[in-house]
């Protein structure tokens, strides 16, 4: 046999990459995020995505060209702070403490600013009554100008110091952000008013209330925004609270309470009624019902007995369970969910690209528009004071924050809500693509079906009964772990059959088993019809044909030379599969089944669940080729599977779904992991994606619409700077609040 030429040695080895997450500080708007991302991506071998909502950057880099210290240095040169996030739980705790401290400081600043600004705003009441507020027309002054200067100055330079610091950092790093706009607008208003006041220019107007009110309103908006943004991570926080702090572990025959970090794999632990399971494990003793809704989204309790799996964070409702730890610390299913959700919330959706491009050039464009408004108004009206007010209003109303928050806040809430309903989304791109699916390819075994054989029919012959037949079956198969034997034993157990002892047992691999059951002298046999025929037992061909339709596996049972009957086994279709296929078709998603099984079995399952297009005898590589062929035609293609053979197709799809009970390699290759072994979860994932995309589009519309409408109004002089500041604060809050409405999303009743 000729060997293929070795061309691998002529190709350069693939570049090794590392991935880290940076925690960022100092960002005030989307322009900051765009600036940091641009700076990081200029480094050799670096690919970075900055998330303004989570204040993090996901960075993939070539360690031979760049190291974490260089990444941090680049961020700091741009005027911001960065740290490497290593311990997810500890980092979250530190972030929470830091944000709580910042929130308290911000609240104090807002209160002080409001107390100093309210007297200045009080003199605007006559303006409201006379309709002079629009455009900043002349108004009566109730407070002496010296007092106005005394009230406005601390608001401008003490309370507003954060804007000056942020603007300096941005400009030093070669960029411009929202702080630059606020500083320019309010400093011009304060500086002009201060000069007029100090020089005693009675013929000119002052705008102390405008600068102070803008700073106060922007800070108030940031306070409300911070409170709203805290709600976006509520789902992740809720998951973290599910796991108890201690475990009841059996050591040296004694039950002791130990911290979760001290529980080791293989140790036995006890879960009492009403307690949460501390780590993943397998039940060794006891029976109970466990609420697994935090994993699956299903409210019904799941019965647990010896051999059943239990998962950290689920709630034991009834009895006492003793289990053996199989997953502790970061290896629990709950920890994996939290890790997956956190990664997804920090990722960036393709739909965000437009907002990122706009944010990157937004501030310089606004400054140009403000300068043009100033020049045009002065030229047209001949009034530099009025021109100044127009320019200040433009600078103040333009806020890129809403653009930066529009997509990530919806992604955070959507992925968190998915985690609470058993839908684990790996990244924002998958969440977006799921909502655009046109064709969904499904595997048969383990996806549409249960993935394991079960008894579907029992046919007894004359002179025999079902109990006699199942007693022989249970006796011959007792102790066997073969999938068919497990199915036969389960059927016998459902009928209350107790196995008899067996002597002279003989196992013929691939054919069947034989032995003397109970105290009889006759040899009983269980196996293929040919196995019985070789022993001289005749099995009616008509009975075999009756049960063999649809690809069923048929086994025959005999006692001595007399056939007792035949049993049909098949991989049973999940009860929810047909309904899920119908729902997908109603959503205008074309469903195709690809299976490696034979044509008869494929046709039977496809017909039963309502799939019109299917292919049988498809090898794993052919599944992936089918996915790539559809993608080449421009069709947004998804793949659902659960086995190792599905991994190539899952990796090739635009968006892929793996059922939670599937092989590890399938779960690793998939974009979305479904904790429930139910195709209906795919429908729920698609509906969640569509709901999240709808929120993103609404947010982007609000953000773009606000600026498209607000900036021209301000430039034309139809908005006073105070109103402009209020509108800017309201825009960010409205976007976050709209995203939070996703928390109300529920999977529809099936």
The residue-averaged pLDDT of 593-603 equals: 80
What's the pLDDT score for residue 727?
74
Judge whether residue 662 has pLDDT over 80.
Answer: no
- The CATH 2.70.150.10 portion of the chain extends over 254-327
Q: Mapped to the 3 state alphabet, what secondary structure does 55-73 carry?
A: CEEEEEECCCCCCHHHHHH
What's the pLDDT score for residue 665?
45
Task: Provide Rg for the chain, Cα atoms.
Answer: 34
Q: How far apart are CA 694 and CA 519, in angstroms?
A: 71
564 contacts 596 by C-beta, under 8 angstroms = no
User: What CATH superfamily is the domain 422-448+575-690?
Assistant: HAD superfamily/HAD-like (3.40.50.1000)
- In whole angstroms, how far apart are CA 631 and each of 92, 405, 596, 639? 39, 31, 21, 12
What's the pLDDT score for residue 473?
92
The residue-averaged pLDDT of 211-219 equals: 80
Task: Kindly report the number of other CB atoms within 10 A of residue 486's CB atom.
Answer: 15
- Measuring CA to CA, which residue among 163, 165, 151, 164 is closest to residue 113? 151
Helix (H) / strand (E) containing 423: strand 423-425
The residue-averaged pLDDT of 402-426 equals: 80
Using left for φ > 0, alpha for ψ between -120 and 50, and beta otherwise, residue 136 falls in: left
What's the pLDDT score for residue 252?
85
DSSP summary character for residue 570: E
174 vs 491, higher pLDDT: 491
Task: Kindly report the number of other CB atoms within 10 A of residue 498's CB atom.
Answer: 10
403 contacts 361 by C-beta, under 8 angstroms = no
Judge whether residue 719 has pLDDT over 80.
Answer: no
What's the pLDDT score for residue 131?
47
What's the pLDDT score for residue 749?
65
- Measuring CA to CA, which residue among 286, 279, 337 is closest to residue 311? 279
Burial grade of 477 (CB within 10 A; 0-12, 13-18, 19 or more): buried
Task: Kindly report the number of other CB atoms within 10 A of residue 487's CB atom.
Answer: 22
In this predicted structure, which of 154-158, 286-290, 374-378, 435-439 has the lowest mean pLDDT? 286-290
In this predicted structure, which of 160-169, 320-329, 338-347, 378-387 has the lowest mean pLDDT? 338-347
Helix (H) / strand (E) containing 184: helix 178-199
The residue-averaged pLDDT of 193-221 equals: 79
Write b or e for each residue in 135-170: b if 16 or more Cβ atoms lie within 10 A of its Cβ, otherwise e.
ebeebeeeeebeebbebbbebbeebbebbbebbebb
- The CATH 3.40.50.1000 portion of the chain extends over 422-448+575-690
Q: For 109-129, give the DSSP string.
A: HHHHHHHHHHHHHHTTHHHHH
Judge whether residue 526 has pLDDT over 90.
Answer: yes
Percentage of the chain lying above the pLDDT 70 cut: 83
Mean of the per-residue pLDDT values of the chain: 80
Taking only the tens place, the pLDDT of each residue in 111-168 is 999 999 888 877 665 554 444 444 444 455 678 889 989 999 999 999 999 889 888 8
Q: Which of 281-295, 415-429, 558-572 has maximum average pLDDT?
A: 558-572
What's the pLDDT score for residue 344?
60
364 strand-pairing partners = none
507 strand-pairing partners = 513
The residue-averaged pLDDT of 520-532 equals: 89
What's the pLDDT score for residue 386?
82
pLDDT tier at 610, thresholds 50, 70, 90? very high
Residue 399 structure tokens: 């806020």
Among residues 109, 179, 356, 443, the one annotated as catalytic is 443
Helix (H) / strand (E) containing 472: helix 466-477
573 strand-pairing partners = 449
Query: Alpha helix (H) ranges present in 304-447?
Result: 333-345, 353-381, 384-397, 401-420, 428-434
Q: How far apart are CA 436 and CA 690, in angstroms?
A: 8
- In whole angstroms, how far apart are CA 232 and each of 21, 390, 423? 20, 36, 17
Judge whether residue 215 has pLDDT over 90.
Answer: no
What's the pLDDT score for residue 384?
83
pLDDT tier at 543, thresholds 50, 70, 90? confident
In this predicted structure, which of 27-36, 147-156, 353-362 has the lowest mean pLDDT? 353-362
What's the pLDDT score for residue 4?
39
Burial grade of 491 (CB within 10 A; 0-12, 13-18, 19 or more): buried
pLDDT tier at 13, thresholds 50, 70, 90? very low
The hierarchical CATH code for the domain 254-327 is: 2.70.150.10
Residue 176 structure tokens: 């411009």
Q: Which of 96-105, 120-129, 560-569, 597-606 has maximum average pLDDT?
A: 560-569
What's the pLDDT score for residue 650?
81
- The CATH 3.30.70.100 portion of the chain extends over 18-86
**Angle, to 10 degrees, between the axis of helix 30-41 and the axis of helix 161-172?**
30
275 vs 389, higher pLDDT: 275
Q: How far apart are CA 229 and CA 219, in angstroms?
A: 15
pLDDT tier at 375, thresholds 50, 70, 90? very high
User: What CATH superfamily is the domain 450-573?
Assistant: Calcium-transporting ATPase, cytoplasmic domain N (3.40.1110.10)
177 vs 82, higher pLDDT: 82
Judge whether residue 175 has pLDDT over 90.
Answer: no
| φ and ψ of 637, to 5 deg | -115, 135
Taking only the tens place, the pLDDT of each residue in 555-565 is 999 988 888 99
In this predicted structure, which of 296-305, 440-449, 694-703, 736-745 has the lowest mean pLDDT? 296-305
What's the pLDDT score for residue 133?
45
What's the pLDDT score for residue 544?
86
What's the pLDDT score for residue 580?
92
Taking only the tens place, the pLDDT of each residue in 617-633 is 787 778 888 888 998 89
The residue-averaged pLDDT of 289-300 equals: 67
pLDDT tier at 393, thresholds 50, 70, 90? confident
User: Spelled out in words, what is the top-level CATH class assigned to the domain 18-86?
Assistant: alpha beta
173 contacts 165 by C-beta, under 8 angstroms = no
Residue 588 structure tokens: 């205008």
295 vs 56, higher pLDDT: 56
What are the E-state strand segments in 9-165? 18-25, 46-51, 56-61, 81-85
What's the pLDDT score for residue 116?
92
In this predicted structure, which of 316-330, 343-357, 621-635 has the lowest mean pLDDT? 343-357
- Cα dihedral angle (25, 28, 33, 34), rounded to 10 degrees? -150
Q: How far apart are CA 195 and CA 149, in angstroms?
A: 10
Q: How far apart are CA 425 and CA 413, in angstroms?
A: 12
Q: How far apart are CA 170 and CA 158, in angstroms?
A: 19
The residue-averaged pLDDT of 36-61 equals: 86
In this predicted structure, which of 384-398, 584-598, 671-685 has the lowest mean pLDDT? 384-398
- In whole angstroms, how far apart are CA 391 and each of 75, 135, 375, 465? 32, 11, 9, 95
The residue-averaged pLDDT of 328-343 equals: 71
Q: How far apart are CA 581 and CA 372, in angstroms?
A: 59
pLDDT tier at 592, thresholds 50, 70, 90? very high
Q: For 487-547, give the DSSP string.
A: HHHHHHHHTT--PPPEEEEEEETTTEEEEEETT-SSEEEEE-HHHHHHTT----HHHHHHH
Q: How far apart are CA 370 and CA 181, in angstroms?
A: 10
Residue 93 structure tokens: 């705790």
- The CATH 3.40.1110.10 portion of the chain extends over 450-573
Judge whether residue 227 has pLDDT over 80.
Answer: no
Judge whether residue 234 has pLDDT over 80.
Answer: no
In this predicted structure, which of 40-54, 157-171, 188-202, 716-730 has the lowest mean pLDDT? 716-730
Report helix, strand and coil shares of the chain as percent, to nearest 5. Answer: 55, 20, 30
387 vs 86, higher pLDDT: 387
Taking only the tens place, the pLDDT of each residue in 479-521 is 777 778 888 998 898 888 889 999 988 888 778 899 999 888 8
Judge whether residue 658 has pLDDT over 90.
Answer: no
Judge whether residue 641 has pLDDT over 90.
Answer: no
What's the pLDDT score for residue 40?
92
* Annotated catalytic residue 257: no
């Amino acid at each position: 046999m000729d060997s293929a030429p070795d061309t691998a040695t002529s190709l350069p080895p693939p570049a090794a990459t590392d991935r880290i997450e940076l925690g960022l500080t100092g960002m005030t708007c989307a322009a900051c995020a765009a600036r940091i991302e641009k700076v990081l991506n200029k480094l050799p071998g670096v690919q970075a995505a900055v998330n303004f909502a989570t204040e993090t950057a996901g960075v993939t880099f070539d360690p031979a060209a760049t190291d974490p210290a260089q990444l941090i240095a680049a961020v700091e040169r741009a005027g911001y702070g960065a740290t490497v996030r290593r311990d997810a739980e500890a980092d979250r705790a530190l972030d929470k403490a830091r944000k709580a401290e910042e929130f308290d400081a911000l609240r104090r600043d807002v209160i002080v600013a409001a107390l100093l600004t309210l007297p200045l705003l009080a003199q605007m009441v006559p303006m409201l009554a006379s309709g002079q507020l629009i455009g900043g027309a002349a108004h009566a002054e109730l407070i002496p100008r010296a007092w106005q200067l005394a009230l406005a100055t601390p608001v401008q330079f003490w309370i507003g110091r954060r804007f000056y610091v942020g603007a300096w950092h941005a400009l030093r790093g070669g960029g411009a952000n929202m702080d630059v706009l606020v500083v320019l607008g309010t400093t011009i208003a304060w500086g002009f008013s201060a000069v007029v006041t100090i020089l005693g220019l009675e013929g000119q107007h002052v705008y102390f209330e405008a600068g102070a009110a803008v700073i106060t309103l922007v800070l108030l908006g940031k306070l409300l925004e911070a409170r709203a943004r805290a709600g976006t991570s509520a789902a992740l926080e809720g998951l973290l609270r599910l796991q108890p702090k201690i475990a009841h572990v059996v050591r040296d025959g004694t039950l002791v309470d130990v911290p979760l970090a001290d529980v080791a794999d293989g140790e036995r632990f006890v879960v009492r009624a009403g307690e949460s399971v501390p780590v993943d494990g397998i039940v060794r003793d006891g029976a109970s019902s466990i609420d697994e809704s935090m994993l699956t989204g299903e409210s019904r309790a799941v019965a647990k007995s010896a051999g059943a799996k239990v998962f950290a964070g689920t709630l034991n409702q009834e009895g006492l369970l003793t289990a053996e730890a199989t997953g502790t610390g970061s290896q629990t299913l709950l920890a994996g969910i939290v890790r997956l959700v956190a990664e997804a919330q920090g990722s960036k959706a393709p739909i965000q690209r437009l907002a990122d491009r706009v944010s990157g050039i937004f501030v310089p464009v606004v400054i140009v528009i403000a300068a043009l408004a100033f020049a045009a108004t002065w030229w047209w009206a001949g009034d530099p004071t009025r021109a100044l007010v127009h320019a200040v209003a433009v600078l103040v109303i333009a806020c890129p924050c809403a653009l930066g928050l529009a997509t990530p806040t919806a992604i955070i809430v959507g992925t968190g809500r998915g985690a609470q309903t058993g839908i684990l989304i790996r990244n924002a791109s998958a969440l977006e693509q799921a909502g655009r699916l046109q064709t969904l390819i499904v595997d048969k075994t383990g996806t549409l079906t249960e993935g394991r054989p079960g008894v579907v029919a029992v046919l007894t012959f004359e002179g025999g009964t079902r109990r006699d037949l199942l007693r022989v079956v249970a006796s011959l198969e007792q102790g066997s772990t073969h999938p068919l034997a497990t199915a036969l034993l389960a059927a016998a157990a459902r009928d209350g059959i107790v196995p008899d002892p067996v002597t002279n047992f003989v196992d013929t691999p691939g054919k069947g088993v034989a032995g003397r059951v109970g105290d009889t002298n006759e040899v009983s046999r269980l196996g293929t019809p040919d196995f019985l025929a070789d022993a001289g037992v005749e099995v009616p061909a008509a009975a075999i044909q009756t049960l063999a339709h649809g690809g069923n596996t048929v086994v025959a049972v005999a006692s001595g030379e007399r056939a007792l009957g035949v049993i049909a086994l098949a991989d049973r279709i999940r009860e929810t599969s047909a309904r899920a296929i119908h729902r997908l078709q109603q959503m205008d998603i074309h469903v195709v089944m690809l299976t490696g099984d034979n044509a008869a079995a494929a046709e039977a399952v496809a017909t039963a669940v309502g799939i019109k297009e299917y292919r049988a005898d498809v090898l794993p590589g052919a599944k992936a080729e089918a996915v790539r062929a559809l993608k080449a035609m421009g069709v947004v293609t998804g793949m659902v599977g659960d086995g190792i053979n599905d991994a190539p197709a899952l990796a090739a799809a635009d968006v892929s779904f793996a059922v939670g009970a599937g092989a590890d390699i399938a779960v690793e290759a998939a974009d979305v992991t479904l904790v429930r072994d139910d195709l209906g979860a795919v429908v729920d994932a698609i509906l969640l994606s569509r709901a999240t995309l709808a929120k993103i589009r609404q947010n982007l519309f609000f953000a773009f619409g606000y600026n498209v409408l607000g900036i021209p109004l301000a430039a034309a002089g139809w908005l006073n700077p105070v109103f402009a500041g209020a509108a800017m604060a309201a825009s960010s809050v409205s976007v976050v609040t709209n995203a939070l409405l996703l928390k109300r999303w529920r999977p529809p009743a099936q």
